[in-house]
Amino acid sequence: MTVARALRILGSAACTLLFATSAQAHHGVAGIGAAGLEGPGAPVESASSALLPEGKTLVYAKLDYAKFKSANPADTQVDNNQFWMAGTGRGITPWFSAYLFTPYNRKIDTDEPAGAATPKYDTKGWADFSIMGQVGFKYDKGLKLVPANESLDDLEDWHFTVYAGTSVPTGSPNLKNRNGDIDPSKSTGFGNPSFSMGTTATKMLNSKLTFNAELSTIRFQNYRYNADTSHADGFDAKFGAEDRLNLGLAYRFYTNPEQKLRTDLSLEAQFLKIGRDRENGIGQTATGGSILYLLPGIRVYKDNMSFAFGVKKAAWTRLNEAGQQQGSEGKEKYRLIFSASTMI
């Protein structure tokens, strides 16, 4: 399981969020009217404390494109991963929002050199979809649920959320390459649900600058994979846990009230700790470690729409067997993050 972590099977994003984190559909929801033009900013990828207005629906799309470094050109390697995400969210109450995410993955290997030990193994398909619920709070002379209507002064208070969710095993966990082998990290499903939870904190430091923090975790279950050429009776596998701490600043760079246009610049620092994958109860080499990413980006709000773009690179890594972990988190040349959303 050394190629492409399981969380990326869901897309990123999120959500992390949960869903990865890499995959929160409500990031940078464009506000309506002056509050959206003058209120808090949002990071490009990390989860923020913004909730959907009651009765409003969010439609969301995201692409996380990861280009990997080459470690051994004489063998087949991961060239790039493309994690597409479509999602929708609904403001159930002023303080509770619900989301549904549907990912589509493309994991592309380099061309297979003559005599390569590893065969080319491209993956394309729909992955496990995910559901998530988020509850919002504000601090104003005490902690309280987010009210129905907030003034610009109210938006300057500390805001917090807690969220939790699960994936639903709709993808295929038992994809095989042309040699008949199963690589769980190349599959489009976990086989069993994964579970995640997290919390966010957001505060306008002044009229233009917003601080954002997210702390989250995701846990995977053991799954019994089908027999392949290496495992006549099948095998058990479990992806390592993922823990994240994301910090970010968003700066309101430009505002045009007449055109309902706003442009924010942002910078995120994302720390990711990944546990070892396990096969038949044994920790696997070339898995796990810690990574610190930096993600500068830009977000544009127009009317009830929001568009975000960022470039994500590993600034520091401590992988368990770095020389063997080509194609894993921390070994990217870069990641390109793009998302678009609209409120209806």
- For residue range 127-145, list pLDDT tens digits in order: 999 999 999 999 998 999 9
Give the closest residue to 225 by CA, choosing from 189, 282, 182. Answer: 182
Q: Quick one: what percent of the chain has pLDDT higher than 70?
A: 90
> How many angstroms separate the CA atoms of 337 and 45, rounded?
8
What domains can be seen in the chain, in order of their start residue? 6-343 (2.40.128.130)
Q: What is the pTM of this model?
A: 0.89
Outline where DSSP puts E strands in the chain.
17-18, 20-21, 57-68, 78-93, 96-109, 123-126, 129-139, 143-145, 158-168, 195-204, 209-219, 223-225, 235-238, 242-256, 261-274, 278-279, 282-283, 289-302, 305-319, 332-343
> How many angstroms separate the CA atoms of 318 and 289, rounded?
6
State mean pLDDT over 303-327.
94
Who has greater pLDDT, 178 or 8? 178
* pLDDT, averaged across the chain: 87
How confident is the model over 161-209, as pLDDT tens digits?
999 999 999 999 999 888 888 989 889 999 999 999 999 999 999 989 9
State mean pLDDT over 282-287.
93
> How many angstroms separate the CA atoms of 38 and 293, rounded?
29
How confident is the model over 32-89, as pLDDT tens digits?
333 467 789 999 999 999 899 999 999 999 999 999 999 888 889 999 999 999 999 9
> How many angstroms separate the CA atoms of 75 and 87, rounded?
37
